[in-house]
């Protein structure tokens, strides 16, 4: 059986049940903490040279990712991997491309302590926040402490990140039986399943719930080394293995892949088919799949309205 026939067969089996779940319309959040976390998310004073904030690499007014291939940290230092979207990160089973963070608390600490990003530490963050009467007042109200503690600052940032869900995408409303997709969009979704994209991109986040090798059928070689899963586990079989990214709001978060090597969504579909499915998808099928992927763009949370 050829590879393309194999994936068509698997896709037909997967069509028998719904492998994608809609984002919940209401999630439990702590809005007072989230409001303070939002201030911290935008605060450049939480970087060594006062130039970098969380927002610098995660544009929540667009797709929640970075439009640059590699983000810039303190002193203009270049990062070593493309910054993924922070939207719907609460639904990821691990954080960062190589899954080195088990949850959002560990993820929030990572950039703050990274010498190439914020270049801060617990003591310097507490010093900055305690020098602000307004922050001290807010944290006293929220946490009942006379001084701002590092762990409470992380907790507030996480509370904000947990509000960054994007429900009510057209596809979610279709799943809930509220609207219909166009015939072209439904055809794109059928192809998405039949070609086997759904094997890795499924669940509530249409990804973000497994690790996969980049280059399953055709070896994938980047121009430079990126921190893959092997950097965490030390296992040679984890070379070029990364967390499968979410496809939520994917139309808004170009460029694509851990190395940002795919400038457009069409490029991303074509290249993934080649490297990870071992097939060449006709142009008309790529167009149809991209049409479906556009239905995964959800509503921005109210908290992200321009301040």
d(CA 304, CA 92): 20
Residue with tokens 């305690």: 130
- What's the number of CA atoms in the CB half-sphere (13 Å) around residue 5? 2
Note if the bond before 255 is cis, omega within 30 degrees. Answer: yes
**69 close to 253: Cβ distance less than 8 angstroms:** no
d(CA 277, CA 216): 7
106 given a catalytic annotation? no
Long-range CB contacts (< 8 A, 24+ apart) of 89-93? 89/161, 89/164, 89/208, 90/27, 90/161, 90/162, 90/164, 90/165, 91/23, 91/165, 91/203, 91/204, 91/205, 91/208, 91/246, 92/205, 92/208, 92/209, 92/243, 92/246, 93/208, 93/209, 93/210
Q: Which residues pair with 121 in a beta bridge?
A: none
Q: Which residues pair with 213 in a beta bridge?
A: 241
Query: Measured in whole angstroms, how far is the alpha carbon of residue 248 from the centre of its chain?
Result: 8
Q: By three-state DSSP, how is residue 203 classified?
A: strand
Q: Phi/psi at 144 (nearest 5 deg)?
A: 65, 30
**33 close to 156: Cβ distance less than 8 angstroms:** yes
Of the residues 62, 67, 109, 117, which is catalytic? 117
Q: Which residues pair with 114 in a beta bridge?
A: none
Q: What contacts 258, CB < 8 A, 6 or more positions away?
A: 81, 82, 97, 214, 226, 228, 242
Catalytic residues: 117
């Amino acid at each position: 059986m050829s590879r393309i026939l194999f994936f068509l067969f698997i896709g037909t089996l997967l069509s028998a049940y719904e492998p994608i779940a809609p984002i919940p319309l209401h999630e439990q959040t702590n809005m007072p903490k989230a409001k303070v976390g939002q201030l911290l998310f935008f605060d450049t004073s939480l970087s060594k040279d006062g130039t970098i904030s969380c927002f610098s690499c995660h544009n929540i007014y667009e797709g929640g990712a970075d439009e640059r291939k590699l983000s810039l940290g303190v002193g203009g230092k270049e990062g070593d991997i493309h910054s993924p979207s922070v939207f719907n990160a609460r639904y990821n089973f691990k954080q960062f491309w190589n899954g080195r963070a088990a949850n959002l608390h560990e993820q929030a600490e990572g950039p703050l302590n990274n010498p190439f990003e914020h270049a801060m530490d617990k003591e310097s963050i507490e010093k900055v926040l305690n020098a602000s009467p307004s922050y001290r007042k807010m944290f006293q109200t929220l946490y009942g402490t006379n001084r701002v503690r590092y762990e409470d600052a992380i907790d507030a940032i996480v509370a904000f990140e947990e509000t960054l869900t994007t429900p009510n995408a057209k596809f979610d409303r279709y799943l809930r039986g509220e609207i219909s997709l166009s015939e072209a969009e439904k055809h794109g979704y059928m192809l998405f399943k039949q070609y086997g994209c759904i094997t890795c991109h499924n669940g509530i986040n249409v990804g973000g719930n497994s690790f996969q090798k980049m280059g399953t059928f055709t070896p994938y070689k980047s121009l430079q080394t990126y921190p893959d899963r092997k950097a965490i586990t030390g296992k040679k079989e984890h070379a070029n293995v990364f967390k499968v990214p979410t496809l939520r709001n994917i139309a808004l978060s170009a460029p694509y892949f851990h190395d940002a090597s795919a400038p457009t969504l069409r490029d991303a579909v074509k290249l993934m088919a080649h490297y990870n499915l071992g097939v060449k998808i006709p142009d008309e099928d790529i167009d149809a799949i991209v049409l479906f992927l556009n239905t995964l763009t959800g509503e921005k949370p109210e908290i992200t309205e321009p301040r």
